[in-house]
């Protein structure tokens, strides 16, 4: 089967920010065989290759000169069961939220706190998606990724993925890996994770089930995060900064109300949205792009805002937060 490579493809409908952009070459792959051919095509034509999932964590600031490979590998199945735990495999092109719903329908728990996160199964490990007290690394068993350079496929354990806060080995700029399939370790016996206060508050005095947790997470997300199909956005635009105890002490002197949470290695995580809101950016626009009026961590695009305008606003925000709090914000989406 020959690849169907297209030229001059508009990207506005292929990423959730919806900025006008285009790519010189585009191909959709539905199998490992097609992915191999796409990599070979890029090599033979000396093209930069960019794998793309749901486009929910990316900003395009200009025309992409290379080959964008849309990962559309489907399929999900239960492959093993033992002692109340079940191993489930899913293709990288599966919708993340639809996969979460499917797992719940199978009577499997573990993913419910990660409901309604946009994107695909294959993109989830790249930034170690996380929400409401659960990260992808907590539920992943292993994954299979294709090496663009050697054209070999390798199975990665959780440790080999080098997961961190919104980080993994696959997010490095020079990573040759394209994720093809992910395996998850889920439970037949429900073990609720309700450490996140608004979640536990909403579920207080209720008989908690995985479905109820999922529905509640969807309710919380929908109440404060805009639907990308209605208002273009890439979700949280900045990472929540992790700082030292000494830095926190200094900030608390001026801002005793700053929300802060324990992080690894005796560090502290701050709410980036709160910092941005205190700098008076909430609801503010720069042309067609602006800061969402319900969640300051989200940059939105009203329609025809460009990626360059998005990044210009992001730079203004980062500069003001640095000036006011002495904290450097880090952009979460990948920028091209």
DSSP secondary structure string for all residues of 16-37: TT----EEEEEEEE-SHHHHHH
The whole-number pLDDT of residue 332 equals 94
Among this protein's residues, is 33 annotated catalytic? no
Among this protein's residues, is 185 annotated catalytic? no
Kindly report the CATH class assigned to 76-223. alpha beta
290 CB-near residues (< 8 Å, 6+ apart): 283, 284, 299, 300, 302, 313
- The C-alpha atoms of residue 333 and residue 127 are separated, in whole angstroms, by 9
**Helix/strand/coil (H/E/C) assignment for every residue in 207-256:** CCCHHHHHHHHHHHHHHHCCCCCCCEEEEECECCCEECHHHHHHHHHHCC
The whole-number pLDDT of residue 100 equals 99
The active-site residue, picked from 56, 94, 112, 166, is 166
What fold, for 6-71? 3.30.43
Same CATH fold assignment for domains 6-71 and 76-223: no
- The C-alpha atoms of residue 155 and residue 301 are separated, in whole angstroms, by 38
Angle between helices 210-224 and 96-105 (to 10 degrees): 160
DSSP secondary structure string for all residues of 161-199: GT-BTTB-GGGSTT--EEEEEEEEEEESS------SHHH
- The C-alpha atoms of residue 267 and residue 128 are separated, in whole angstroms, by 19
The whole-number pLDDT of residue 264 equals 84
The residues spanned by each domain of the chain are: 6-71, 76-223, 226-335
Low-confidence ranges of the chain (pLDDT < 50): none
CATH of domain 226-335: 3.90.78.10
Among this protein's residues, is 223 annotated catalytic? no
Note the helical H segments in 68-130: 96-105
CA 196 to the chain's CA centroid: 19
The whole-number pLDDT of residue 2 equals 80
- The C-alpha atoms of residue 186 and residue 103 are separated, in whole angstroms, by 9
The active-site residue, picked from 56, 94, 236, 309, is 236
């Amino acid at each position: 089967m020959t690849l169907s490579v297209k030229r001059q493809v508009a990207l506005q409908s292929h990423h959730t920010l919806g900025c006008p952009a285009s790519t010189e070459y585009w191909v959709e792959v539905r199998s490992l065989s097609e992915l191999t051919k796409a990599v070979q095509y890029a090599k033979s034509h000396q093209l930069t290759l960019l794998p793309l999932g749901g486009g929910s964590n990316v900003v395009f600031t200009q025309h992409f000169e290379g080959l964008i490979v849309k990962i559309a590998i489907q399929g999900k199945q239960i492959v093993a069961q033992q002692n109340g735990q079940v191993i489930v495999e899913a293709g990288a092109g599966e919708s993340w939220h639809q996969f979460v719903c499917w797992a719940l329908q199978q009577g499997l728990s573990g993913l419910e706190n990660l409901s309604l996160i946009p994107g695909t199964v294959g993109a989830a490990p790249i930034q170690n998606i996380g929400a409401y007290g659960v990260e992808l690394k907590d539920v992943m068993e292993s994954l299979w990724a294709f090496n663009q350079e050697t054209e070999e496929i390798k199975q990665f354990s959780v440790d080999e993925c080098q997961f961190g806060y919104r980080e993994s080995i696959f997010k490095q700029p020079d990573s040759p890996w394209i994720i093809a399939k992910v395996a998850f370790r889920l439970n037949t016996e429900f073990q609720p994770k309700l450490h996140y206060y608004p979640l536990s508050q909403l579920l207080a005095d209720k008989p908690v089930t995985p479905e109820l947790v999922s529905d509640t997470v969807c309710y919380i997300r929908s109440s404060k995060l805009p639907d990308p199909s209605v208002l273009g956005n890439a979700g949280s635009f900045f990472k929540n900064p992790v700082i030292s105890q000494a830095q926190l002490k200094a900030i608390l002197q001026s801002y005793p109300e700053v929300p802060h949470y324990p992080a690894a290695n005796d560090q502290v995580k701050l709410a980036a949205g709160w910092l941005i809101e205190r700098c008076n950016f909430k609801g503010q626009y720069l042309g067609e792009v602006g800061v969402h009026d319900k969640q300051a961590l989200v940059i939105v695009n009203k329609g025809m805002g460009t990626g360059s305008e998005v990044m210009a606003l992001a730079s203004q925000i980062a500069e003001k937060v640095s000036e006011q709090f002495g904290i450097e914000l880090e952009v979460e989406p990948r920028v091209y």
